[in-house]
Chains A and B, each alone.
Chain A
Amino acid sequence: DTAVSQTPKYLVTQMGNDKSIKCEQNLGHDTMYWYKQDSKKFLKIMFSYNNKELIINETVPNRFSPKSPDKAHLNLHINSLELGDSAVYFCASSQEKLAGGRLPDTQYFGPGTRLTVL
């Protein structure tokens, strides 16, 4: 059974278009994340939601807008795509222990969405 799933797996589009990536987790976790992995394999967090509430919002262009309709889903919408947006986008989830906990919960990653902007 798939724990964290993303659609689509591959996305090829033209500059200036708007596109969405969907993520779903069936682990019952409260927290979900979006990461971007560039061509050098550097993985950087973009957003995190806990129970549909935005809790981490890194320095990301406002062309990127996450949406969490419920705690099992976290979608990423990107407006006016640029060449530099080409990357692999990973969704992840965890059962977060909030402030004060030293031991981080395991983050479970989806298979990634490879976005290519032409």
Chain B
Amino acid sequence: TQLLEQSPQFLSIQEGENLTVYCNSSSVFSSLQWYRQEPGEGPVLLVTVVTGGEVKKLKRLTFQFGDARKDSSLHITAAQPGDTGLYLCAGRFSGGYNKLIFGAGTRLAVHP
């Protein structure tokens, strides 16, 4: 049983389309991060959200942390081929060390 469920698992869209990726859990996280991983490389941090209801924007990417801090979403506007990759959400429980629990990822393909 995974603590973090990501959906969809796969997403194939055309350049210019909008998309949303979801990260859901029954657990409350003190913070949640989104990473992007390209083939043959390690994940790279995109954003950290901490406060329930928080919204952060990174150019065409909008990240939201749910009010109850159990879920998060990533919205990409006008997707480009360069957005292609594996998007991973990772949650952290309060206290203790920086142990991240990763979701299984959403594999995004943006076609020209």
**Contact residues on B (Cβ < 8 Å of other chain), bracket:** 20 to 34
Q: Check if B82 is an interface residue, CB within 8 A of chain A.
A: no
Q: Which of B38-62 contact A (CB under 8 A)?
A: 40-45, 48, 50
Pairwise interchain contact A99-B97, C-beta atoms closer than 8 A = yes
Pairwise interchain contact A107-B45, C-beta atoms closer than 8 A = yes
Complex Cα–Cα for A41 and B104 (A)? 6
1/0 per residue B86-107: CB within 8 Å of A? 1010001011111110101101
Pairwise interchain contact B88-A43, C-beta atoms closer than 8 A = yes
Q: Check if A86 is an interface residue, CB within 8 A of chain B.
A: no
Q: Check if A59 is an interface residue, CB within 8 A of chain B.
A: no
The secondary structure that dominates the B interface is loop
Closest approach, in angstroms, between the C-beta of B14 and any C-beta of chain A?
23
Given contacts A31-B98, A102-B94, A104-B92, contact A92 B104 (CB under 8 A): no
Complex Cα–Cα for A45 and B101 (A)? 8
Q: Check if B64 is an interface residue, CB within 8 A of chain A.
A: no
Q: Which of B30, B37, B42, B45 has the most CB of A within 10 A?
A: B42
Chain A contact residue count (CB 8 A cutoff):
30
Pairwise interchain contact B31-A102, C-beta atoms closer than 8 A = yes
Pairwise interchain contact A40-B104, C-beta atoms closer than 8 A = yes
On chain B, the residues within 8 Å of A109 by CB distance are: 42-44
24 inter-chain pairs at a CB distance below 8 angstroms, sorted by A residue, are A4-B42, A31-B97, A41-B86, A41-B107, A42-B2, A42-B102, A43-B43, A43-B102, A48-B98, A48-B99, A55-B97, A56-B97, A90-B42, A90-B43, A97-B98, A99-B96, A99-B97, A102-B94, A103-B50, A105-B98, A106-B45, A107-B45, A107-B100, A111-B42
A residues whose Cβ falls under 8 Å from a Cβ of B: 4, 31, 40-45, 48, 50, 55-56, 90, 92, 94, 96-100, 102-107, 109-112
